[in-house]
Amino acid sequence: MTATTPERVLVVGASASGLCTAETLRRQGFTGDISVVGDELHTPYDRPPLSKQVLSGVWAPERSALRTAEALSELTADFILGDRAVALDPRARTVLTQSGRRLEADAVVIATGVRARVLPEHNGLSGVHVLRTLEDALALRSDMLAGSRLVVVGEGVLGAEIAATGRALGLDVTMTGPQPAPMALQVGPFVSGLLAELHTERGVELRLGTTVTSLTADNGRVSGVQLGTGEVLPADVVVVAIGAVPATDWLHESGLTLDDGVVCDSRCRAAEGIYAVGDVARWHHEHLGKLVRLENRTNATEQAAAVAFTILGADQPYVPVPYFWTDQFDVKLQVYGSLPIDAEVDIVDGEVSSRRFVARYRSNGRVTGVLGWNMPKQVRLHRQEILDSLDAVGASGPSR
């Protein structure tokens, strides 16, 4: 530690990124006070299993916990749970909570994540769900076990995972959304077309390329989803998976720059002594030459570790290769880098016909990303092509 190492660190958000911040500080020898404040009563848990293992019932809810009670105790951090942060004074580095607590620190790490978007008709209508928290997953599972017809509004990663889990539970599942195929914005037309084939083969009805105009109801419970085409999709259960927005409402009076997240420099610093990590952070990526915000589990922990090192005196930019994965039916997709929808795509390993392949994405002659379809080891090897491309950009200066 250096002479400027803070004595007190406050992490706002008992999330994966919040926990990793605290753990990295301790591993690096930090002996000062650490406090972690979270709005949920649960100790930090893993979110990716919520739409798969927890929702399907393969995992008991407690298995999603990231650490045992003993491990958290050994961390010697003060976990303040079930008490939402409502305001931040960056100059005083003070956080006010809903219960009236006033928490002071020398460094504050914002790790509040995102909140799910909802439809206007959502409030007060039973049978309509979002999936962000453990309680969301358990409530959705209960309704899915009691129902027979599930409509998933949203064709992104989360919507596709929920649709796959719903079919595994034996429900009639329909997926709808404005894009032409599942995950079209995330993986481009080639792979999203293959995902459409996969879901159709497994019994998911696709009503894509259209908007949702309203929800229909019967005695206060959802009964269907009306599309822009006029078609009404019957439903016992509806899941709204139309993305998320950074949880920054509590920061509106803080004076921090808020624009699709907490805007930070290349060290993930939003102001002197104030940092942001995980889904809520939008930071300057020096290799890409632009602001980046990533909503995935890998970034949550890698960025948290980087910020912990910065708090302890390191001075390195955070320049990760983005990575995410998704499991749908018996398919594991792993993505490194970015996959522009207009990119050139070629197969560099395996075969599409065998549904085991690695696809390489090029944009303006540069490798921007690689995708593995049931080829985890091989796609990791091709990740190096992205690193080589980033190094080349860094040598010539980032594009803007």
pLDDT tens-place string over residues 175-214: 999 999 999 999 999 999 999 999 999 999 999 999 999 9
> Which pLDDT score is estimated for 120?
80
**Alpha-carbon span 142 to 155, nearest angstrom:** 22
> Which pLDDT score is estimated for 391?
64
pLDDT tens-place string over residues 106-158: 999 999 999 999 988 666 789 999 999 999 999 999 999 999 999 999 999 99
Helix segments in 119-224, DSSP class H: 134-146, 157-168, 184-201
Q: pLDDT band at residue 342, thresholds of 50, 70 and 90? A: very high
Q: pLDDT band at residue 5, thresholds of 50, 70 and 90? A: confident
Query: By three-state DSSP, how is residue 172 classified?
Result: strand
pLDDT mean across residues, the chain:
94
Question: pTM of the predicted model, to two decimals?
Answer: 0.94
Rg (CA), the chain: 22
pLDDT tens-place string over residues 287-331: 889 999 999 999 999 999 999 999 999 999 999 999 999 999 999
> Which pLDDT score is estimated for 122?
67
Helix (H) or strand (E) holding 176: strand 172-177
CB 141, CB 170: distance < 8 Å: no
Surface-to-core class of residue 391, CB atoms within 10 Å of its CB (0-12 exposed, 13-18 middle, 19+ buried): exposed
**Alpha-carbon span 261 to 379, nearest angstrom:** 30
